[in-house]
A = this chain, B = another copy of it.
Amino acid sequence: MSKYWNERIHKLEPYIPGEQPKDKRYVKLNTNENPYPPSPKVLQAIRNAADDQLRLYPDPNTDDLRATLAEVTGLTSEHIFVGNGSDEVLAFSFMSFFSPDRPVMFADITYSFYKVYANLCSLEANIIPLDDEFKIPVDAFCKPNGGIVIPNPNAPTGRDISLSSIRKVLDANLDSVVIIDEAYVNFGAESVVPLIKEYPNLLVVQTLSKYSSLAGIRVGFALGNPELIDGLNRLKNSINSYTIDRLALAGAKAAIEDDAYYQQVADKIITTRQKTTKILHELGFNIVPSHANFIFITHPSFNAETLFYNLKEKGILVRYFNQARISNYLRVSIGTDEEMNQFVEAIKEIIKV
């Protein structure tokens, strides 16, 4: 608290990201990072960009990167906004499209930053409970609202949502913006990017942090009709003209161009997810069906919070949310096969199987 803070700052409830521990080396399965390195072409592109040109501002309009994205998505550059990570893109979207006069809608169990953004923008939230299997109740999202945000697949559950369900939400909300947060879409869910030309109210948000192994360079996108993209640009250009640095621009472009590499990586992660799921099932865990690079698990006989601390003692970090309905669950990022073996062995020791 400070007399120098204005009212906005006093009432904020900031997001708390997953730990980035410095005390020792952990098997880090807590922030859904990709366990495999970025494409070698990405690293080379960044090294090449580390030259005297860094004295110059980057392109404020990220034209080159947007052209590359346009090519792979089948959209035009006018459909694309680039931000400093998808969190910034989401924050800007809340600030641009959602109105204080009608409540915004999101699920009770979902990415917890949405609530932070709603609070930041002084928006009332109509929080929609997921059903008992953590599925999105589509009908509940078809009521009047000031904006909707749904991740596909959802986090921290990993459950995906079908194209036809999203279509239903879009059809019912032609006057408000529906954000589909596709941070994890490339691990087995279906993207709604092909619906963008059909639905002016659809904004798809993606990131390089997960699928592209580039959490460290902070690049996210919004894909949507040019009016929405214009709105985001108006906001960005009222805050910071140059949000994406030259190194991130170079790395991002190389990542988009080397999808073959990343598709292989995603396939490995999906295989590891399936193997891990099978083993945990045999150990008595219930696992929410996942289309993401993490799994959401619970055990009928073992307390999740205790498991979390026991795992941490053994040098394995996962994510625990002390929150209604999911306080007996753990979210476990999918690491390499070796990391998941370590995780499984630790679990076995803890539950003494």
Complexed CA–CA distance, A59 and B21 (Å): 9
Residue of chain B at shortest CB distance from A32: B57
Select which of B55, B57, B218, B237 is within 8 A of A243 by beta carbon.
B218
In the complex, whether A24 has a CB less than 8 A from a CB of chain B is: no
Assuming the contacts A234-B12, A239-B88, asked whether A57 and B117 have C-beta atoms less than 8 A apart, the reply is no
Complexed CA–CA distance, A57 and B145 (Å): 34
Can you tell how many copies of this chain the complex includes?
A: 2
Quick one: CB contact mask for A194-229 with B, threshold 8 Å, 1 for yes? 000000110000000100011111100000000110
B-chain residues with CB within 8 Å of residue A282 when the two chains form the complex: none
Select which of B14, B38, B59 is within 8 A of A54 by beta carbon.
B38
In the complex, whether A87 has a CB less than 8 A from a CB of chain B is: yes
Q: With a 10 A CB-CB cut-off, give which of A53, A239, A242 has the most chain B CB atoms.
A: A239
Q: Chain A contact residues (Cβ within 8 angstroms of B): what range?
A: 35 or more
Residue of chain B at shortest CB distance from A97: B4
Complexed CA–CA distance, A5 and B233 (Å): 12
Q: With a 10 A CB-CB cut-off, give which of A35, A88, A236 has the most chain B CB atoms.
A: A88
Contact B98 A6 (CB under 8 A): yes
Give the contact stretch, choosing among A43-51, A155-163, A307-315.
A43-51
In the complex, whether A164 has a CB less than 8 A from a CB of chain B is: no
Complexed CA–CA distance, A236 and B116 (Å): 11
Give the contact stretch, choosing among A135-143, A185-193, A245-253.
A245-253
Contact A20 B59 (CB under 8 A): yes
Contact A5 B35 (CB under 8 A): no
B-chain residues with CB within 8 Å of residue A68 when the two chains form the complex: none
Assuming the contacts A3-B175, A35-B55, A60-B20, asked whether A88 and B218 have C-beta atoms less than 8 A apart, the reply is no
Q: With a 10 A CB-CB cut-off, give which of A31, A56, A116, A230 has the most chain B CB atoms.
A: A56
Assuming the contacts A91-B239, A117-B238, asked whether A2 and B54 have C-beta atoms less than 8 A apart, the reply is no
B-chain residues with CB within 8 Å of residue A218 when the two chains form the complex: 58, 242-245
In the complex, whether A96 has a CB less than 8 A from a CB of chain B is: yes
Contact B52 A228 (CB under 8 A): no
Contact A15 B241 (CB under 8 A): yes
Complexed CA–CA distance, A251 and B50 (Å): 10
Residue of chain B at shortest CB distance from A248: B245
B-chain residues with CB within 8 Å of residue A251 when the two chains form the complex: 50, 54
The smallest C-beta distance from A145 to any residue of chain B, in angstroms, reads: 13
In the complex, whether A25 has a CB less than 8 A from a CB of chain B is: no
Complexed CA–CA distance, A177 and B4 (Å): 7
Q: With a 10 A CB-CB cut-off, give which of A35, A50, A95, A119 has the most chain B CB atoms.
A: A50
Q: With a 10 A CB-CB cut-off, give which of A14, A59, A120, A216 has the most chain B CB atoms.
A: A216
Contact A55 B234 (CB under 8 A): no
Contact B96 A201 (CB under 8 A): no
Contact B227 A245 (CB under 8 A): no
Q: With a 10 A CB-CB cut-off, give which of A22, A43, A119, A241 has the most chain B CB atoms.
A: A241
B-chain residues with CB within 8 Å of residue A95 when the two chains form the complex: 8-9
Residue of chain B at shortest CB distance from A209: B57
Select which of B3, B47, B200, B240 is within 8 A of A84 by beta carbon.
B240
Contact A54 B58 (CB under 8 A): no
5 A-B pairs, CB-CB below 8 angstroms? A5-B227, A14-B233, A37-B51, A38-B55, A46-B247
